[in-house]
Amino acid sequence: MTGCLKKRMGVFTLRAWVVVFTCSAIADFLIISAWYRNGRVGMHRSSNAHYSAANLNKMSQVRGSASPSSLNQTTQPIFVCNDTENVKVMPMGTFPVAGLASFPGSGNSWMRSMIERATGYATGDIYHIPNQEKDFVGEMRNVAAGETIVFKLHDYWKGFTNKRDGQISIQKAILIIRNPYRALIEDFNRLGYGKQRPIDENRFRSEEWSKFMTETFKFSRWLKLSRTLMDMCNHHAPTAPCKAIHIVYYENLETDLKNELLQIIKFLDIQVDERRLSCAIATSESSPHRPLKQPHLSFDPFTQEHRARIDEDMKTFHQWLDSEGLPHPPPAFNN
């Protein structure tokens, strides 16, 4: 009886071990299978994350946002460099008083926008136009206070003063030069319709156009501004407040904006922020201040007298560049 019981228990024990071993093997198989499936899903998710990051990068370029530098940053806030909240007005005396000068119609407001986007610092305006404050947070600031990185101006002379800012002595100047024929057309169109409106050819056949050209010649604005700033900022006289001038040709801005912005930023002694610079370049065409690429007029609005005067001014300008040792314009400027 006892021997039989031991035999039966031995059989039971062997069977039990077989069951335990089988169950353990099945459990191991299920665990390994689950791990394998999870690994495949993880790989799939990683692939999707890479795809999402790539798509976000493409989207950010279109929207003017800085793209994430790695997959781990796909959830970071999208940086929008034309957001005025990202542009700062600095404390008084932060910057030297720097003028961003040009003849009207030469892309001054557009360059203000590009400089703000590329540096994060506000720009000012010697004319203080209230409805521009929505786009330029430094519009109404005193331009002589050094709170803005540059300020817009179209006219300047020694001892320049205005009611809001008092006497303004610029310490460095950026001079934007554009082919005068195109600048005149752009400025006249702006006076009638604003920066973002197509040309109405009928206005160029009117007395309004003739009056505009007569007044422009009377003040010689295109040439006079260049001469004034060269005299004040390019000779490094010990008593002169303005010590440096940087010439920017509008035609170069259209073909090599990144390099031109880099040169401007370095001239202003600001550290280059590659992230902001890339964003500024990506959104340059969408700027509300970007002059429209206007089609050619179907007729020549300039009289023979106009052309003789403008061509003489351009010849004089080139002579000044030679005598001042300043860079000449690209071929597109003369066409």
Q: Among the listed ranges 179-188, 212-221, 322-331, which one has the minimum average pLDDT value?
A: 212-221
Backbone angles phi, psi at 121, to 5 degrees: -110, 145
Rounded CA gap, 21 and 63, in Å?
62
Comparing 71 with 168, the larger pLDDT belongs to 168
Domain of 60, in residue numbers: 46-80
- Number of structural domains found in the chain: 2
Pairing relationship of beta strands 166-167 and 244-249 according to DSSP bridges = unpaired
| pLDDT score at 281 | 94
Look-up of token digits 């550290």: 271
Q: Are residues 312 and 282 in the same domain?
A: yes
More confident residue, 273 or 21: 273
Q: Which two tokens stand for residue 321?
A: 């560049």
Q: What is the CA radius of gyration of the chain?
A: 34
Of 170, 168, 155, 71, nearest to 108 by C-alpha is 155
User: pLDDT band at 109, cuts 50/70/90?
Assistant: very high
- For 123-141, what is the mean pLDDT? 95
Identify the weakest region by mean pLDDT among 54-63, 259-268, 309-318.
Answer: 54-63
CB atoms within 10 A of CB 48: 10
Asked whether residue 140 falls in the same domain as residue 64, the answer is: no
Where a domain ends, among 54, 80, 106?
80
Distances 212 to 1, 143, 152, 205, 300 between C-alpha atoms, Å: 129, 29, 22, 12, 16
- pLDDT greater at residue 61 or residue 83: 83
> pTM of the entire structure?
0.75
Residue written as token pair 């071929």: 331
190-204, 256-270, 316-330 — which is least confidently predicted?
190-204
| DSSP reduced 3-state for 274 | helix
Judgement on whether residues 60 and 156 belong to the same structural domain of the protein: no
236 and 261 both lie in a single domain: yes
User: Do 207 and 250 reside in the same domain of the chain?
Assistant: yes
- Cα(48)–Cα(196) distance, rounded to whole angstroms? 41
* pLDDT score for 29: 57
User: Is residue 76 located within the same domain as residue 94?
Assistant: no
Q: Summarize the confidence of residues 172-180 as an average pLDDT.
A: 97
Residue 325 gets the label, from left (phi > 0), alpha (psi -120 to 50) or beta, of left
pLDDT digits (tens, 9 = 90+) for 142-152: 999 999 999 99
